[in-house]
Structure 1
Amino acid sequence: MRKRSRGTHRRGRLAELGGLRGAVAVSAADQGVAALTNIVVVVVTARQSTAADFADFAVVYTVFALLLGAFTAYLGQSLVLRQGTDAELRRDCRSSVTVTLAGSASVGVLLLLLAPLAPEFGALGLVLPILLTQDGMRYAFSLLRRPGLALTADVLRLVVAVPVLAVQPDGAGAARMVVAWGLSAFPALLLGGALLVWVTRGAGLPFAEARALVADRRHLGRRFVVEFGVGNAGSQAAIVGLGLLANPLAVGALRGASTLFGPLNVLFNAATGFGPPQLNRLPGGAAKARAAFAAGGALAALAACWALVLALLPDVAGRQLLGDTWRSASELLPATGSQYAAMALGTCGLLALRVLNPRATLGIQLVFSALTVVCLLVGYALGGILGAAWGLCLGSVAKATASWARAALEVRVTYARPGPDAGPEGVAG
C-alpha cells in the first residue's frame, strides 16, 4: 500500500508539473498574440508616417501605455494574487472587469474633451473602454486557470486588426490609426465577454463587489498603482515630457527602439501577469525564488541574443520596419538591448517579491524608479537621445540589483522561520 501510495503521489506531482508547464506555455502564447497586435499598430504607423508624424503618434501611444499600466496595476496584478473559493474567485473576476469598463469609459470621456485641440487624444478616448476592458479579461482568465480562453479572444483580435490596419491609406493620421486599432478589438471584446460570462456562470451581478473593490483602502491594487506611478509611469512620463518640452523626435526614436524589442515585452508581461498563480504552486520560498531567477536569467540571455540580431539587421530591412524612424532608433539598439537584459532580471525579481511578500516592492519602486528618471534626464542632458537610452539602462540595472537583494533577504528571513510556509501577506485584500 505504501509503494502504491508513493507511486500515486509521484504521478500526481508529475501531472501537476505538466499542467503548470502547459498553462505557462498558453499564457506566453496569449501574451505573444496580444503584443503582436500592438506591434503591428506601431510598425504600420511608422511605415506610413514621416519621422515627425510618428513622433506625434508615439506621444499618444505612450499615454495609452500609461493608462493601460495603471489599470493593470490596480486591477489585473492584484486580481491574479486573489485566493478563495471558486465562487469567490468568479465574483472577483466579474467585479474586476466591471470596474475596468466603468473606469476606462470615465477616462475616455475626459480624453474626448481634448478632441478639438488634439484629435489623436480624442480618438484614444473613443476606443479606450474597448482596449482596456478586452485586455483586462486576460487576467480574469488567468486567475480562473483558463488561459486558453484569453488566447482565443486575442487571436480573434489579431485576425481582425491586421486587415483593418492594412487597408488604411498611406499618410493616414494618428487619429485614424488609433480608431482603426481600437475598433478592431471590438469583436474580441464581445467574444471574451461571452466566454467570461460562461466560465463565471452562477456568480451573479458583481455590483456590490465592484463598489467594494474601489472603496477598500486595503486593496493591494492601490499599492501596486502607486508602484507603477513611481516606476514605469515615471520614466514614461519623463519621455513624454521630453517630447512636449524638448525634442519630439526623442520620443519617436525611443518608442521605435522599444518596439523592436516587442517580443520581449510579451514575455515580461506574461511573467508579471500570470507568473504569481504558477509560482504559488511551488512549495517554499526558496523554490519560488529559484524558479523566478531561472526565468529572469533565460529572459536576459534572450534579450542579449535579440539585440545582436537587430544590430546585424540591414538598413533596408530596418527601414521596412520603421521607415524614417529606423535611422535614429538603430543607434539606440546597444543601449536598449542592455536595458532589456537588465529589465528581464528586474521583472523576475519583482515577480519573486510579489509571491514572497507583495508589500516589499513599493520601497524598491519608489527609490529606483526615481533614480531611473534622474538617469534618463541627466543622460539626455549629457548625450542627447543616446544618453537618455543609456540612462534608462543604468536605472534598470540598479532596480534589478535591488530587487534580487530584497528577494534573497525575504527567503532567508521570512521563510527560514519555523512553522508552516506562510503565503504572501494580504493577497486577498
Structure 2
Amino acid sequence: MRARTAILCSVADQGVAALTNILVLVAAARLSTVEGFARFSAVYLVFTVLLGVSGAYTGQPLVLRRASGPRAGAKSGTESGTDGGTARDGATAAPGGAPSGGTEHDGRAELGGACRSAVLFTLLAAGTAGLPLAAVCLLLPGDTARALAMLGLVLPVVLGQDTLRYAFSTLQTPHLALAADLVRLAGALGALSAQPHGATAARLVLVWGLSALPALLLSAVLLHRRTAGTPRRMRALLRRGHLGRRFVVEFGVGNATGQLSVLGLGAVGNPLVVGALRGATTLFGPLNVLFTSATSFGPPLLNRLDDDRRRVRAAAVLAAVLAATAAAWAVLLALLPGSAGRQLLGDTWPVAADLLPATGSQYAAMAVGTCGLLALRVLDPRTTLAVQVVFSLLAVVLLAGGYALAGVPGAAWGLCLGSVCKALATWTRVARLRRRPAAGAGPLTPAPAPSRP
C-alpha cells in the first residue's frame, strides 16, 4: 500500500473510532434517564481508563516494531524482546554481501508473531481482570455495580478489538482496521437503536460491548490469514524491560495529573474553574483525537521512511500542520455567534469563550509537543517517560501559579505555558538524539541484550 493511501486510511480509521465513541454516548443519553446516563457515563469512564492502559501497555510498544530488522533507537525494544523486530542470527547472505530474503522473511514472521501475541495477551489479561470484576460487582447492590459487572463481562471483547487495530497498523494494513471499525460503528449504533427508552445502564453496557463481537471476529479472521504459523511469545510482554511499563506510567502521569490538578483547584478554590477549563477543552475534542492518533498510530507510518532524518522531518511537518489546524479551529470557535456557542455548552459558553485565546494557544503548542514525542518514540522510545513526568508536573505548578495570579484565565495561560515548555523540551531532545551518531556516539541500536531495563 502506498504511503499516502496508508495515511488516509489511518486517519479515517481514527475518525471512525472517535465517531463511534461520540455516537455511543449520544445514543445512551437519548435512551437513558438523567440518572441512568450518569451511571453509564461513569462506567464508560472506567472503560476509557482501561482502554488507555491497555493501549499503552500492549498497543503502543507493538506499533514501534518494524518487519525488516532493528531500527535506530529501538534499543529498549531489543532489550525487552518485544519491540523492534530483529533479523535472525543464522541468516545467509547473498553474493556480494547483501542479506538474503531469509532475513526479511524472518523479520516479517517475527512481526506477525508479535501481533498475534499482543492480541492473545490482551484477551487473556482482559478476561483475568474482567471476570473477577463482574463476579464482585454482581454481589454488590446498586445499578452502577451491575453496570460495572456487565463491563467486566464484555471487557475482553472491547479491548481485544482495539488491540487488533494496533496489530493492523503495525502490519501496515490500516485499511483492514478501517473496515473492522466501520463494522464496529454499524454494530454499536444498530444494537443501541434497538433498545427501549429508559433502558438501564447495565443493559446498555452489555449491548454496547457485545455489539463489538462482529468486528472482533472479522479482525481475528483477517489477522489469522496474515500471521498464521508465526511464533507467539507472550512471555516477552511480561519481561522487566517491556516498553509498555513505561508507557503506562506516561499515560497515568500525562492524563491523570492534569485532570486531578483541575479538580483540586475546583475543590480548594473556585468550583467554576473546573467547568470553565473543561468546557474550553471540550471544544477542542477533535484535536485530541488527532493528537492521540499521532502518537499511537504514527510510528508505522514514519517507519515507512528510509532514515531517521526523513522521519524527524516528517514529524516536524506534521507538527506544523497540526499547530496550524489548532490555530484555525480556535479562530473558528472565536467567530461563533453566542447563540451557537450556547447550543454547544449552554451556560458554560461565556466563560469558556473567554479562555479560547489561551486554550487555542495551548493546543497549538500541544500539537508541536505531541509530534516531538512521536519523533522520540521512533528515535528512542525510552526517552519519553522523563519528558512526560517532568513537564506534566511543571504544568500543574504553572496551572496553580496562573490561577493564584489571575484567576481562571491565569490558570488557562499557565497550562498553555506548560505545553510550550514541553514542546521545546521534546524537540530539544530530538535534536540531541539526531546529533549523537554524527558526534561519533555510534548507532542508537545496540546488539541484542538480555531483558534488562
TM-score by length of structure 2 reads 0.76
Contact 2:261 2:396 in 1 (8 A): yes
Structure 2 gap ranges (5+): 66-84, 87-106
Determine the structure 1 residue equivalent to 2:285. 262
Structure 1 residue 340 corresponds to structure 2 residue 372: no
Question: Does the alignment pair 1:88 with 2:71?
Answer: no
Residue 208 of structure 2 corresponds to which residue in structure 1?
A: 181
Q: Which runs of 5+ in 1 are unaligned?
A: 1-17
Partners in 2 of 1:322 and 1:159 — Cα distance?
Answer: 28
Counterpart of 1:310 in structure 2 is 333
2:369 and 2:410 mapped to 1: Cα distance? 21
The equivalent residue for 1:71 is: 54
**Equivalent residues of 2:280, 2:359 under 8 A apart:** yes
- TM alignment of 1:395-414, pairs within 5 A: 395-412=418-435, 414=436
C-alpha RMSD over aligned residues: 3.8
1:247 CA drift (Å): 9.1
Query: What does 1:280-299 align with in structure 2 at a 5 Å threshold?
Result: 280-299=303-322
1:25 lines up with 2:49 in the alignment:
no
**CA-to-aligned-CA distance 1:7-32 (integer Å, 9 cap, x gap):** xxxxxxxxxxx822221121111111
State whether residues 268 and 347 of structure 1, in contact with CA within 8 Å, keep that contact through their aligned partners in structure 2: yes
Amino acid at match of 1:261: F
How far residue 280 of structure 1 moved from its aligned partner, in angstroms, is 2.7
Instruction: Indicate conservation of the 8 Å contact 2:236/2:242, yes or no.
Output: no
SS of 2:437's partner is coil
Shift of 1:373: 3.3
For 2:236, the equivalent position in structure 1 comes to 212
> Judging changes above 3 Å, is the alpha-carbon distance between structure 1 residues 237 and 90 closer, same or farther for their aligned structure 2 residues?
farther
CA contact (8 A) 2:395 2:417 kept: yes
Does the CA-based 8 Å contact 2:31-2:195 persist in structure 1?
no
After alignment, is 92-101 or 170-179 more displaced?
170-179
Taking a change above 3 Å as real, the CA distance of residues 51 and 423 of structure 1, as seen in their structure-2 partners, is: farther
Question: What is the aligned partner in structure 2 of residue 116 from structure 1?
Answer: 141
SS of equivalent residue, structure 1 residue 203: coil
Q: Distance in 1 between matches of 2:355 and 2:203?
A: 29
1:203 aligns with 2:257: no
| Bigger shift: residues 325-334 or 254-263 | 325-334
C-alpha deviation, 1:250, in angstroms: 6.8
Do the aligned residues in 2 keep the contact of 1:58 with 1:251 (CA within 8 Å)?
Answer: no
Asked which structure has the greater CA Rg, the reply is 2
Q: 2:175 aligned to 110, 129, 148, which one?
A: 148
- What is the rounded CA distance, in whole Å, between the counterparts of 1:263 and 1:366 in structure 2? 25
The one-letter code of the counterpart of 1:132 is L
Compute the displacement of 1:303 (Å): 1.2
Cα distance between partner residues in 2 of 1:243 and 1:49: 28
Change (3 A) 1:342 1:24: same
Tell me the equivalent position of 1:100.
122
1:380–1:388 contact (8 Å) kept in structure 2: yes
Q: Distance in 2 between matches of 1:110 and 1:390?
A: 44
1:370 aligns with 2:393: yes
Q: What is the identity, as a one-letter code, of the residue corresponding to 1:76?
A: G
Q: In the alignment, which residue of structure 2 is the partner of 1:8?
A: none
Specify the SS of the correspondent of 2:47: helix
Contact 1:157 1:187 in 2 (8 A): yes
Aligned residues: 407
Cα–Cα, structure 1 residues 362 and 182, in superposed 2: closer, same or farther, change >3 Å?
same
Percent of residue pairs identical: 58
Pairwise CA distance, 1:419: 9.2
> TM-score, normalised on structure 1?
0.80
Instruction: Give the partner amino acid of 1:149.
Output: L
C-alpha distance in structure 2 between counterparts of 1:422 and 1:213, whole Å: 22
Question: Do 1:39 and 1:259's aligned partners in 2 also have CA atoms closer than 8 Å?
Answer: no
Query: d(CA) in 1 for partners of 2:35 and 2:391?
Result: 32
